[in-house]
Amino acid sequence: MKFQEGVFLVAIFSLAYTQLVKGQPQPHEGCQTRCGNVTIEYPFGTSPGCYYAEDRSFNITCNERNELIFGDNKVIKISHGGEIRVRVNSSYSCYNSQGNLSNGVYYTFELGNLTLSTKNRFTAVGCNTYAFLSTYGVADYSSGCMSICASPPEPNGECSGKGCCHNSVPRGSNFFKVRPYSFNNHTSVHSFNPCSYAFLVENGTFNFDALEDLKNLRNVTDFPVVLDWSIGKQTCEQVGNKSICGGNSTCFDSTRGIGYNCKCLEGFEGNPYLSSGCHDINECTSNRHNCSDPNTCRNKAGGFYCKCQSGYHLDTNTMSCKHKNVGWTIILLGTIIGFLVILLGVSCMRQKMKHRKNTELRQKFFEQNGGGMLIQRLSGAGPSNVDVKIFTEVSMKKATNGYDVSRILGQGGQGTVYKGILPDDSIVAIKKARLGDSSQVEQFINEVLVLSQINHRNVVKLLGCCLETEVPLLVYEFITSGTLFDHLHGSMFDSSLTWEHRLRIAIEVAGTLSYLHSSASIPIIHRDVKTANILLDEDLTAKVADFGASRLIPMDKEQLTTMVQGTLGYLDPEYYNTGLLNEKSDVYSFGVVLMELISGEKALCFERPQTSKHLVSYFASAMKENRLHEIVNGQVINEDNQCEIREAARVALKCTRIMGEERPKMKEVAAELEALRVKATKHKWSDQYPEENEHLLGVQTLSAQGDTSSSRGYDSIKNVPILDIEAGR
């Protein structure tokens, strides 16, 4: 008993599964599948439970004459793609020779939810005829055509306006009526054309015959017409997985603009509206394959493939199996391996040649950049105080990010300076000589040679050089706060240097030049002293830079005869006129720098009056006319430092005398400026501690009473203490 109940439940479940697929009902078993010679397939059906119940338009009838009927029209064929072909009667009106209507029929057609396809034509036949097609559905629409001819046209099978005319049919109409008319009741053409005809017909199924059709339309009363159908009123996207499309099928939007239809996937056939309607096509047995040998065809779901036996391969061009030629395979494989070996060998040789070429090129650049000369001159120039490191081309390119323009710190006569970051994250300044300027190589070598003799806290430190590149590179310590020129005249920094800052910078530069002239292992003349070559670090400590134009002075000579080189505005006029270079040339240039520090004016300015374009002339004139206060920078001068500024101005004038022998040495200049700072410091100290100052004055008075030699006082100009500031630190 329990077994029978189980079988019953399985049967019920199977029936329910058959009826519900994707949430949609399926046809019952035993539905009529054929009427006459027309196949009936779901969603169409002839009885309840056999057609898609949500749309009664799919309910068709098989009459007693075994004809399948849709409405009042005979069905010719039903297509899964959303079309049904039916035969539709024509409308006509016939007249006798007196012009009276003898008979006529006018048809109106209602299609339910089905609509006319655009694959039809509205056609009218007659030489005294005009006809109208009125449709209703998506939009009301009327169209028509007319045909007028006095005699029968030549028979040519074309409906082109002579005895026959046609027009297109709009999409989406589900109700239409057709009616023909006559202009003069066919009285003028009655002998060969007593009637007017109007009908709908599928494209390509009606060929006009002028001899037969004008007389009685060949006794044809109906024509094939295509109707469009679809499921529901939603698109595939809107209906989602609730469509009635079965397995191995896909949904597509209906061409009529509403609803959707189903079709089997490629390689499948059947009724896509049934749950398991689409089944695999066996291409091998249905002769739908392209394998040259049918025995090699193998079916698979949705397709096929050609399988060759062992030792053969498939030629996809001819889809035939061909014997594998092992000999040719070995030859081909050997050829490929040999080619790869040769290619690898050539690649290795090219790499070696490239490496060798790069090595030779680096050696060539080393010699071209004066590497041999540098080594020779360094070895013969006396003891070197600098351990010059040799950097590689790769490390320099990496440090400057490929010499990116954003890394440029400045450009000048000696080349371009880049900001570099070394692998240890230390920041350096990398100076690159100008490409194609052979004179730069000599200056490059000269700068290395000069800096190798210097070890001074106020000289920018040379870290190393690179000779492997097309143009030489020098690597310096990175000075963070720009040049003195930038602070005095540029827009990069605020011109906020106090007098104390300026005096200290002047003392540091003067002490450095004094060291170069007197205390270096070989005396050095900088030859291009200017504010642009004086760098300032974060503490505003001066660093003298750019020794490309500098010269080493042999111990047995006081001056050298050289090609004049320097910067206008700072250039010693005596050196300019004679070409004789000595330490007094640097003294002159320093005097101009000191004037810039005092005045804040540029060394050469064409915006000043003609006689004052050069700062030396401008400064001397102001001193002579006792109007120094007019040219002193307003941010610098105050009541406490006027005397110091006047003394510094006097030193600057002494440094810029026309005759070099009348100028003081840098040693003396440094001492005078240092004395000014000492005096200023004592003055500030006495202002801050007046009691101690009075006590000291009292001691001096007592001393003066006991020693008449001290009663003359202290002359800060004539009796400046000579301080030992020239030694390197």
Catalytic residue IDs: 528
CB contact burial 34-46 (16+ within 10 A = b; e otherwise) = ebeebebbbbbbb
Give the distance, in angstroms, between the CA of residue 327 and the centroid of all CA atoms in the same chain: 52
CA dihedral 71, 74, 79, 80 (to 10 degrees): 30
User: Would you tell me how many other CB atoms lie within 10 Å of the CB of residue 13?
Assistant: 10
Helix (H, G, I), strand (E, B) or coil at 238: helix
Q: Which amino acid is at 655?
A: C
Q: Which residues contact 165 (CB under 8 A, 6 or more apart)?
A: 123, 124, 145, 146, 147, 159
Q: Which residues contact 164 (CB under 8 A, 6 or more apart)?
A: 123, 124, 125, 147, 158, 208, 210, 213
Q: Which amino acid is at 534?
A: I
Q: Which residues contact 496 (CB under 8 A, 6 or more apart)?
A: 635
Q: How many helices (H) and strands (E) does the chain have?
A: 16, 39
SS (H, E, C) 521-578: CCCEECCCCCHHHEEECCCCCEEECCCCCCEECCCCCCCEECCCCCCCCCCCHHHHHH
Q: Which residues contact 37 (CB under 8 A, 6 or more apart)?
A: none
Burial label for 674, CB within 10 Å (0-12, 13-18, 19+), is buried
Q: What is the arrangement of strands in the sheet containing 173-182, beginning at the earlier edge strand?
A: 107-110, 173-182, 128-137, 141-148
CA–CA dist 365, 197 (Å, integer): 101
Helices 583-599, 666-688: inter-axial angle, 10-degree rounding = 30
CB contact burial 395-422 (16+ within 10 A = b; e otherwise) = ebeebbeebeeebebeeeebbbbbbbeb
End-to-end CA distance of the chain: 117
Residue 165: name the closest of 192, 205, 132, 202 by CA.
Answer: 132
Reported in sequence order, the residue ranges of 600-650 that DSSP labels E, i.e. its strands, are none
CA–CA dist 461, 478 (Å, integer): 9
Helix (H, G, I), strand (E, B) or coil at 465: strand
What are the Cα distances from residue 26, in Å, to 33, 53, 149, 554, 638?
Answer: 14, 10, 56, 115, 108
Helix (H, G, I), strand (E, B) or coil at 456: coil
